[in-house]
Structures are given as C-alpha cells and as structure tokens.
Structure 1
Amino acid sequence: MKIKSLLLLCMLLIMTSCAPSFNQPDEVVEETQDETGQETAIIPKYKIADENYRVLLDYKLSQSRGVIVNQVANRLDIDEMEEGLRRHSISYYDPDNYFFQEGQYITEDVLYSWLGRYEEGESEQGLNPEVPDTEGLDTEELKKIEEDNPKYLSHILEQDYLTKTDDDVVQLGGISIGIALKSVYRYQTEIGGPYYYEDISMSEMLVEGKKIAQEVLTRTRQIEELADQNVPIMIALYREEAQDSLVPGRFVARTSVSGDSSSIGEWQTVNEEYVLFPSSNGKNKYPDTWANLDDFESDVSEYFPNYVSVIGKGFYIDEQLQKLTIEIPISFNGKAEIIGFTQYVYGLVMEGFQTHYDLEINITSSGEQESLITRKSGDDEPYVHVYH
C-alpha cells in the first residue's frame, strides 16, 4: 500500500512539473488625467492572434460610448468601422508594441456638437454644412436646400493606442480617428413627413470628408488633455453603405499626421470593398468567385433540394479576395442530419475552394447557428465545430 501511494505521489509530481505554466500578466502604471495622474493597469501576456491588440485591464469604455449606434443606421457599418479602423491602425501602431484602448478624449457632448450642422454663434460648431433660414418655404424649396446642403458626416470614432516605457509606465502613443461619411443622405422636410433620399458621389464625399478631417484634427489637438502631447494621429475616411445594404461600406482614404503637426499632408487611397454573392455586381466584377459559389450552391442543392439559398460575402483589398464568408440556412430534423451535412460541406471545401484567402461557413437552422467551418489563408484543412 505504501509503495502504491509512493508511486502515485511520484506520478503527481511528474505531472505537475509537466503542466503548463500560467504566467501572471504584467502589472503596469497607466498615466491618467485625474488628480493622481496615475493608476494601475494590467497587460495580458497573450493575444488571440498576431493581428489583434492586447487590451489593458481594467477595461475603459469610450468617452462617447453609444453615439455610433444613434448616428450610423446600418449595423454592418458600425461593426466594420470599428474593426476596420483597428485593422488600418496596424500599419502605424505595431500590435507587438502598442496596446488598444477605446477613445478617452473626444467626449459624448463634444462629439454630438461636432456632428451637428454649423450654426453661427455656437461655441462648438457643427461640421455639417449650414442651411439658410427655412421659415415659410414650401416642400420643394425645402428639398432643394437639403439636396444642396446634405449632411455628409455621420460619426467620428476615436481609438487610442498606448505604449509601455522601460519604467513600466503605459502612456498614450498614438490616436486613430475614423470619420464616417454618407453615400446616401436621408432627410425629411417636416417632422413625421416622408423620407427623401439624395445620393452623394464618391468625389463629392471625398472633397467634403477631407475638409472635415482637417477640422477634426485641429480640434483634437486643442483638447486640453492632448494640447501638450506630441501624439501622432491617423485619420481614415469611411464611406457608409445604404441603410438597407446587406454588406458594409468601406474605408476609402487614410493619412497620418506626426505628433508636432496640425496639418494634413498627403492622403493614401484605400482600395477595399465588400461584395455580395449572388449579385450582378459580384458576377460582373469577380466572375471567378461568383462561379465558385454557383457551383457550391448546386452541390448543396443536390444534398438538400429544399434549402433556401447560399449567401456569400467577399472582402477584397486591391481587388484580391481576402476573406469569403458564406451563410447556409437549412431546416434540420436532428443532430445526426446536421453532422452529416456538415461533413458533406467539409468535403466540398476541401475539393472546391482555394486556400489563398480566409474562409468562414456558417450553417444555420431557424436563425440558430448549428455548425461552423473555418479555414485561415494558407491552411490545407479547415476547422469544424458543431454546436450542441
């Protein structure tokens, strides 16, 4: 009995020595703008992926939290603006050396004042065009004024990027600002009246957006907490899609301003877009992807003749496919049926999809996720998960 106990103890010691070590995260001092000027924060040791930023704990919410939901109508635009701004920030703030924090300097009150129309005499001027006195005008005259002076600006999103010094002090190292601009201006001439729509061309939006960006930069530099800090600022212009669009809009231009400057120089054109499949635009512009999904849909229909349809969304940079997301809504009668169909789709992925882009396939039933198939660019085999 003693020998067995001794052997058990030895085995436990060996297992303990081989067990993974869960190292403690770094504890650092974060510079703040409160009375003490400093507070303790924690940096997680690991990132979920190389392209992700580590986030300081205790997590600080944005000073203008919730404003974007009230200003940007399409939920897809909200998600893409936030995630896309982080993606573009990687070109300026290396995730290995910078930490992410939601915006702490452009407050809710300030932001709402910037998003309004310009009005003479206001202390915080709106950045959308001024309109003349409309008293006594009829509907057609009011429509003409709105069409000539659309609200271009929807939202301004701030993200902060922090660095750690040799003394374990975390301080502001850079700011990214996303400026959301409308592609379609929706307006009313009277409260409760019908909505009218005015398309805004890309060229017109860029001209106005760059003017707005310069003013946003000037005002950001004047914020009290930032006035004495030589912080670089990256600014990106985002073109929203229509309110009922099934794909989000996209970033169209970006620029970086050094910490000692309050003037924007050169702009870099951003060539990226989301494309819906099936669609005439997708078929005409990216016929190879369209044909690939058309063949895939035919194979799915052979397995489930009564399914609804396959819906694809491709993300392109410089007209090269970066990620393809596919939704397959099907009505199932049991778990075995779900597993069998997922295995079938897995085989279609192995045989029919190239590996130079990220792939994500969501299989759903009655609005609920049933299984997930994902594959990272360059991988030979996908990852599969069936939900229970």
Structure 2
Amino acid sequence: MFNRKIFSILLAVYLSLMPVGNLSVYAQEEITMQEPVTEVLELSLQDAIRLGLEDNKDIEVQKLELLKAEVVYKDRIRGIEKSEDNLKLIPVRDSLGNAMPDAVVNKAFIRNGGARLATELGLDIAKWNLEMKENELKYNIEKAYFDLLKAESEMKIAEENFKLAQKQYDHGNLRYEVGMISKQQLLGLDFNLSQARSNLETSKMYYEIQKMSFKSILNIELDREIVLTDVVQTRDEVIINTEESIKEALLNNGRLKSAAGNVEVAKLNLQALSGMYPSITYAYRAQAADVAKAEQNLQSLTIGIEMQVRTSILNLQTAQKQIETFEKAVFQASEGVRIAELSFELGQNTATEVAQANLNLMNAKKNLAQQIHAYNLALLDFEYSTGIGK
C-alpha cells in the first residue's frame, strides 16, 4: 500500500513536469521562427544611381532598340556594298526602255555616300538614345536624392523649432508657477508650442511623401526603410568658362549630333535626286523643303542648347552668391531669438514677439536649405547640359 502510494505520487509529479518541458521547447521554437527584421538600406548618392540603373526597364528597352539597329545596320551595309560593286551596270529600265527614276536616284544616293551615311546614322542614333536615357535616369535619381535631402533638412529644422518652443514653454510654466508671468502669457507660449508641433507634423508628412517618391524612382519597396548617407553641402566656388562650356555642349549633345546627321543625309538625298528631277519638279522641291526643315531643326537645337548652358551657369552663380547672404540671415535670426527670450524674461515684450522670433529663425534656416538645394540643382543642370544630354 505504502509503495503503491509513493509510486502514484512520483507518477503524478513526472506527468506534471512533461507539459512544462514541451511548452518550454515550443516557446523557444516560436521565438526562433520569428521573421527577421529588415535591415535599413543605407544609400550614398552613387549607391542610389547604381541601384536605380540596375534592371531598369527603360534601359532594357533602349538596349533592345540598339540590338535591332545593329541588325538593320548589318543588313543595309551588306546591301550597299553589293550595290557599290555593281554601280557601273546600266540603270534598271522599264518596258519602254526608260530608266527607272527610283533606281537611278538610289544608285546616285549610294554613289555620293548618302546611303552609307544614313545607315551609320541610324546605328549611332540608337547608341546615343541609350546613353541619353541612362543620363536622364541618372539626372532624375540625383535630383530626387537632393530633393529628399532638402525635405529631411526642413524636417530637422522643424524639430529644432519644436524643441525651442518646448523649452520656452517649460521655462515659462516655471515662471508662471512662481507668479512671474501671467496666465495669458503662458497661454501665448502654449499656442507657440502648438504651432511648432503642427509645423513639425506637416514637415514629417512632406518628408514621407518625398521619400516614397524617391523609392519609387529606384524601384524600392515603399515600406522599406532607407537612410541617405550623403549630406547637403556646397562646394568651393566653381569657376566656369562660359564659351568653352558651350563648345563642349554643342560637341557632345546627342540630339544635336542626330540633327546634324539628318541635315547631311537630306542634302545628299537632294543631290542624288537632282540628277533625275529638275528643280521645278515636285519631287525636288519636296526634298528641298525637307532639307530646310532639317536645317531649321538643327539651328533651333543649337540655340536651345546654348541657352540651357548659359541659364544653368547664371543659376549656379546666383545661388553661390546668395548662400552667404542666407547664412548671415540665419545668424541674425538666432540673435533675434536670444534677444526676444531675454526681453520676455525682463517683461519687456510678449510671447507673441518670442513666437515671431522663432518663426523668423525657422524661415531663415529653411531659406538657407532651399538655397543650398537650388545651388546643387543648378550645378547638376550645368554638368548635364554640357554632356550628351537627356
């Protein structure tokens, strides 16, 4: 009886321990099976450009267009070379023995080099289009990066303004408790704090919107957390030779090179056509009109590119000069806040004047941030205006 009782007790203890052990193991398994937290993606400007160009659909399309152009180029060059070997043969004639106009014109177009130039231009344009698309994407990524840095800077400015308003309210509340300021003055400080809080929430909203826009350009998940590692800054004064920059832009621009090539092809086509069609014919005049249009397009592009370079240089120089002015404005506004706080403590001004001083400081900082942003965009515009274009 005694042994059976001991056995029953031991069995009950053993069974009571079993679920606890299994539950403990199960709990440990649950913990280890939790999904890992996604790491924050840190991006420098160059990282962002690299990521934005990876597996980009627009670039893939342009690469496919280039592959198509290469096939067309090979086929046409092969045909041109065969035709060049047989240029001495008599022209193709119709049933009445008259030379076929198109055959004569085509042979003349091959003989004067127009056909080969047009074929080479088609391949070159496909190459330039790919380079310009890459340039366009790089520009958009860099601009979006600077836009996000600006939004982040303005959010930090709003945070500083909120902390300043919070400090002033806390200090005023202590003074109110000992009877040094009135209830109305404390309410004024509280209102200032509410405005600062509202400004902070608004700046956070704009920052989040700008961040989503930036991530969409890079094709990043919109809920992925990112951090920009580069900071907003200005470089040393940029010395630019305007005339040399214009020459460089006119030499490099892809659209201008395409337009210049089209002019040459149109002229050679007119030359080939003139051997068969007199200047009084419709065919000649139609081709002459095409030449004039191609020349007009080239002239318009040349003027537009020069204006783009000159405008970017003016914007850059203006931004450089104004940054120093806005830096002085920030210093003066900071002094204004210090004087307003001191005067308030001495009872010589009101909470409204303190709030105005805070607002002036926040606006001065935002103006400086916007000017630095304008400088970076002007520099970006200048750098891309002298390249192949976008």
Into which bin does the TM-score normalised by the smaller protein fall?
under 0.3
RCO (CA 8 Å, sep 6+): is it higher in 1 or 2? Answer: 2
When normalised by structure 1's length, the TM-score is: 0.19
Structure number with higher strand proportion: 1
When normalised by structure 2's length, the TM-score is: 0.19
